[in-house]
């Protein structure tokens, strides 16, 4: 019934409720973060970390309820069976819009360990959300352009060091590490500029993916390969909130991690070639799957 309210009423109401949800959960999050920071007892800090994750999952859960109640988006999901809350996963996904993030949070919340994304360092300054991401151990990465590295060679490898530090922390907690291998959101302009060999995807950045797999080592149990399709276009976060994203289709599959996916990407040319071939094959499969999901009849089960 609420999904049928006039847009002029529904959109401000949803925005208000989402904002209140952020404020309430972030304030509680900050309270436990303060305890975690000032109490130098490892058991207390670990307990606080578990509480922080519970708060974040509650935050996401209420967002999901609001989207369900106020929108008529149809969800079709395949492949969630068999995933574990106590598994450690590397989650790979194509990237089209900021809508991808609430989609991933909706389908995986409380199904696998809490999703953590590698974020640009500038995002720590986002009011409320930036400090909340920091409190939840999201890794912040500072990326340098080729021009900056040419002028300041001492910065070479700093992003990889930050990745390794984050992965070392993740080795000691249940975690799902999220990676958008394309590195940026898909647009036709970027697709053309790259001369991408894929119809629906940008070229994947194999080096960053290889580094995470190597840094996490045997702490990761599996790869969760996710393909998201918006048959009517991805839209924006406002479109999602306003109920203009009518149809979302997601395919999930679990892939094993074996010794062939770990190695020294930078210094081992043979491994680098093998790994690039593996990632390219994965991306070819994903490209074909996007075609199938776009054309699929509604025979898959709906998600709730």
- Taking only the tens place, the pLDDT of each residue in 155-179 is 666 666 766 777 777 777 788 999 9
| 273: phi then psi, degrees, rounded to nearest 5 | -65, -45
SS3 state of residue 62: helix
Per-residue pLDDT at 298: 47
- Sequence-ordered strand ranges (E) for 115-207: 115-117, 119-120, 140-141, 176-179
SS3 state of residue 223: strand
Q: What is the pLDDT of residues 60-91, one digit of tens each?
A: 999 999 999 999 899 999 999 999 998 899 99
Q: What is the mean pLDDT of the chain?
A: 87
Q: What is the pLDDT of residues 124-135, one digit of tens each?
A: 888 888 999 989
Of 157-161, 247-251, 273-277, the least confident:
157-161
């Amino acid at each position: 019934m609420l999904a049928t309210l006039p847009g002029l009423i529904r959109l401000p109401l949803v925005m208000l409720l989402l904002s209140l949800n952020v404020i309430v959960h972030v304030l509680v999050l900050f309270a436990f973060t303060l305890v975690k920071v000032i109490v130098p007892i490892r058991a207390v800090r670990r307990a606080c970390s578990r509480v922080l994750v519970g708060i974040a999952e509650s935050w996401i859960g209420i967002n999901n309820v609001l989207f369900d109640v106020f929108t008529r988006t149809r969800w079709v999901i395949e492949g969630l069976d068999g995933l574990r809350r106590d598994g450690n996963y590397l989650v790979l996904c194509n990237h089209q819009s900021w809508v991808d993030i609430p989609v991933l949070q909706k389908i995986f919340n409380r199904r696998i360990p809490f999703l953590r994304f590698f974020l640009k360092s500038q995002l720590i300054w986002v009011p409320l959300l930036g400090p909340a991401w920091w409190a939840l151990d999201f890794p912040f990465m500072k990326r340098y352009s080729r021009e900056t590295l040419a002028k300041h060679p001492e910065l070479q490898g700093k992003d990889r060091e930050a990745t390794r530090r984050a992965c070392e922390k993740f080795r000691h907690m249940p975690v799902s590490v999220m990676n958008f291998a394309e590195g940026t959101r898909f647009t036709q302009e970027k697709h053309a500029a790259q001369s991408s060999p894929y119809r629906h995807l940008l070229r994947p950045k194999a080096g960053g993916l290889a580094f995470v797999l190597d840094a996490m080592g045997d702490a990761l149990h599996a790869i969760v390969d996710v393909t998201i399709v918006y048959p009517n276009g991805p839209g924006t976060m406002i479109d999602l909130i306003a109920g203009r994203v009518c149809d979302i289709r997601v395919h999930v599959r679990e892939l094993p991690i074996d010794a062939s996916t770990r190695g020294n990407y930078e210094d081992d040319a043979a491994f680098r070639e093998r790994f690039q071939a593996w990632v390219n094959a994965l991306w070819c499969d994903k490209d074909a799957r996007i075609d199938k999901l776009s054309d699929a009849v509604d025979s898959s089960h709906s998600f709730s």
